[in-house]
Amino acid sequence: MVKKEPPAGGRVFSGIQPTGVPHLGNFLGALESWVALQSRYPSVLYSIVDLHSITQPQDPAQLRVRVLDMAASLLACGIDPERAVLFQQSQVSEHTELSWILGCLTSMPRLRHLPQWKMKSKQKSDGSVGLFTYPVLQAADILLYQSSLVPVGEDQVQHLELAQDLARIFNNRYGELFPEPRALLSCTRKVKSLRDPSAKMSKSDPQTMATINITDSPDDIALKIRRAVTDFTSEVTFDPESRPGVSNLVTIHAAAALISVEEAVLQARGLDTGAYKTLVSEAVIQRLTPIREEIHRLRSDRAHLEAVLARGTCRARDLAAPVLKEVRQRVGLC
């Protein structure tokens, strides 16, 4: 039997691709909640999922740098490697072996129905096999640690449903082993592009003024918010349907200042949108300055970042190895 059972309070797993330094939307939409989960659950794992990133062409040297940049960013945002297992996915080979086994339990029609394959394969008519099957690897990431809780955005729910399906298929065929993971849907507010408030803030946005990176200087933050799209009404109100640009600023202000939307609108009373942008800038700068400074400090100590990831890898392997051993025995591979 598996030597290490998941803790009674639930095990949390989530992953993030090494896209370099996160942006404000990543921080307010996901990473803040990751930090909070460390105190709420007895076992938490956060993986820098570099295997997922190579479904698209990557420069090898740049990828190595981005893994360390993401590690520095997570630590600076408050991920504590003493309370959470922070590790690099590709350094735990059990992920790929379990992915192969689960892939043999997955049908091609099931994967074709996943929304991200539909979207990305339309963008590229010759989408790779890795792009097609990476949801199976996502499922393996989760099930390998017998995770019961997965913080996800709404756009990832269908991929989590695949993990649930595969847990049921495996358990029915080979005996109970994997809990069916549940979604921890983020209740944080979604940050939109500063240039197109109908779209999410994104690192891949070609408009440099659209996205605030958490390492942006105070001057850059102020400039980007000053140029944010609003409308011709000077009063600040929160109405995402009819005033998406102004409402996005209110969302950012509230989240950065750790206040409610109602309180943010109250603070904006008597200000036009131009003056309000200054207030939003001040809140964002105050929130991000210590994070930016800590990222710069950590980036200068590559050996420390590598050591943190190496320790996390050892801890992840300790959890993964007995689960994969049990899987191999049940399917007849050993």
Residues with catalytic annotation? 120, 200, 203
Reported as type and span, the H/E element at residue 246 is helix 244-257
Please tell me whether residue 200 adopts helix, strand or coil conformation: strand
* Cβ-proximal residues to 178 (8 Å cutoff; 6+ apart), any chain: 143, 146, 166, 167, 170, 171
Please name which of 64, 62, 49, 42 lies closest in space to residue 16, comparing C-alpha atoms: 49
206 contacts 193 by C-beta, under 8 angstroms: no
The CA-based angle 280-281-287, given to 5 degrees, is 95
Give the distance, in angstroms, between the CA of residue 49 and the centroid of all CA atoms in the same chain.
10
Backbone angles phi, psi at 281, to 5 degrees: -60, -45
Q: Alpha-carbon distance 268 to 253, whole Å?
A: 10
Each residue of 131-147: b (16+ CB within 10 Å) or e? bbbbbbbbbbbbbbbbb
